[in-house]
Amino acid sequence: MRSRYGPRRRLRTAADFDTVFKRGTRLSGRRFLLVVAPNQARVDRLGLAVSRRVGGSVERNRAKRLLRESFRRLGPVTGAGIDIVVVAHKDLVSCSQAEVDRELRERLLRFPRTPRPGGAPAAAAR
C-alpha cells in the first residue's frame, strides 16, 4: 500500500481531463461515474470532478477525501498505467470508506485491461 497520494498520481491540467473524457471508457455506478483511459505515464493517476450538486464545500471535500483514500488504498491497478476521472454523485457523501473502496474496486474490475509493457496482455479481471 502506498502511503502518499503525490503529484505524480494526480490529473492536474484541463488537457489531461479532456483527454480522459474523449478517449475513456465510462463505468457508471450508484455513487460515482468512472471514466478510465490508458496513459503514457506508466503510473495510475486520479482526477476528481465534484460539482456543487454534491453539496456545499464540506460535503464536496468529504467526497474528495473518500475518493482519494480509496484510490490510495487500491494501489496500482495495471502495470501499464491508467488515468481515472471520478465524477461524484450526491449519494457518495453519506457512504462509509469501506463502501467507497468496494465500489471503486468493483468498477475498476470491469475496465478492460490494457497490454502491459513488453507486449504481454494483462489478465482480464472477472
Task: Assign residue 51 the CATH number of its domain.
Answer: 3.30.230.10
114 occurs within a structural domain: no
Please list the helix, strand and coil fractions of the chain in percent, rounded to the nearest 5, in that order.
Answer: 40, 20, 40
Question: What string of pLDDT tens digits covers the 126 residues of the chain?
Answer: 445 667 888 898 999 999 999 999 998 888 999 999 998 878 889 999 999 999 999 999 999 999 999 988 887 766 678 899 999 999 999 999 999 999 998 888 877 654 444 444 444 433
123 occurs within a structural domain: no
20 occurs within a structural domain: yes
110, 73 in Cβ contact below 8 A?
no
Residues 6+ apart with CB under 8 A from 35: 20, 21, 24, 25, 26, 27, 84, 85, 87
102 occurs within a structural domain: yes
State the residue range of the domain holding 88: 7-109
pLDDT at 11: 92
Q: How many domains does the chain have?
A: 1
120 occurs within a structural domain: no
